[in-house]
Structures are given as C-alpha cells and as structure tokens.
Amino acid sequence: MLGKKLVTAQKRGETRALCLGLGMVTCSMMMYFFIGITIVPFYTKSIWTAETVCKLLKANIKDKVLCPNSEGTEDEDIFPYPCLQVWVNLTASGQEVMLYHTEDTLERNPKCSYVPGKSENSKEVKAQIEKIASNFKKYQTFPCYYDPGGKQNNVILSRLYPPKGLLFAFLWPTLMFTGGCLIIVLVKISQYFSVLSAWQ
C-alpha cells in the first residue's frame, strides 16, 4: 500500500516537473520571438556601428522648436523645447559633423542633437538641456559612433541597442531554455531508471 502511494507521488512529481520544464521552454521561445521582432530589427537597421572619439567644436542652444515633426505623429505628442545643436570633429575622418543622442533622435528631429521626453514643465526641460550642453562643454572628448559606409555624415552619442545590450537581452531566455531542457532531461532519466528498477 505504501509502495503504491510512493509510486503515485513520484509520478505526480515527475508530471509537475515535466510541465514546469515544458513551460520554461515555451516561455523562452516566446521571449526569443518577442526579441526577434522588436529589438533585433532596430539593431540590424542601425548603420552607426563603428566607434571612434569625437572632439567637441560647439554646443549651442537655439530657439524653441516643435517636436516631433514627422508623419503619423499625433498632435498631443508635439511640444516646444529648446533646440540643442552639438557639432563635433570626427577623429576617424577629421570632418565637422553634427552629433545626435541616438538613432531615434535623428528620426524624430534632424535639426536638434537631443529630443527630451514630453514634460508639462518647460522649466525642467530647459534646465535639462542646459545641463546636457554644459556636460558637453565640460568633457571635450568622448566616444561616439559613426557610419563606416559613409551613408550618414552625422554621428550618434550612444546606440539604442549595442551588441552588449543585445547579448544581455538573449541571456535570460537562453538561461530559461537551458533550465527547462535540463529539467525535462532529468525527469526522463528518472523515469528511465524507475522503469529499469521495476523491471529488474
């Protein structure tokens, strides 16, 4: 009687462990799919792949502009903000080019180097942009990214999805997938030895 209860409990435990392993594998595959349709296209689309050193030439804050000014933009997303323009000397080619914060900044407003997040407080936005300009003037040289193919003459300060960020995004689903497969394999090995022991 006790043996039957132990066998039943063992089977229930194996079933739960197997479901857990399959669930982990399924979740990891869904995460892979999500990363593949969201992050990977932005990473492959970026042409600013080569890193170099930029030297500041000038950082000016011009009159307020509207952001953004692209097609498909809702009126509620348009707001005025001071336009920061940063010009740098690209050490890789010696050219005088305009610096943008990220790839997204160039798409949202090519006239300005930085596009702030929407805020109802215009004083905070102005103070934030002035702080960024002062930081550029404080640190005259800094790493930046340029297009080695020469399609874009401008440079960006940081990539939205650098290689390290992409690897980090794939790290968690990979660990989950490995853990799920390991659980399934251990359950199958346990079942095999159970059947082998019962047959003997």
Taking residues 43-65, report their average pLDDT: 84
* pLDDT per position as a tens digit, 51-60: 889 999 988 8
Q: Which amino acid is at 126?
A: K
DSSP β-ladder status, 96-100 and 155-156 = parallel
Residue 55: its pLDDT value, please?
Answer: 92
pLDDT band, very low/low/confident/very high, at 200 (cuts 50, 70, 90): low
Sorted by sequence, the CB contacts under 8 Å of residue 160 that are 6+ apart come out as 42, 46, 102, 103, 104
pTM of the entire predicted model: 0.68
Residue 101: its pLDDT value, please?
Answer: 93
HSE, CB side, 13 Å, CA atoms: give it for residue 124.
6
Sequence ranges of the domains in the chain: 50-158, 162-189
- Give the 3-state secondary structure percentages of the chain, helix then strand then coil, rounded to 5: 55, 20, 25
Taking residues 85-107, report their average pLDDT: 86
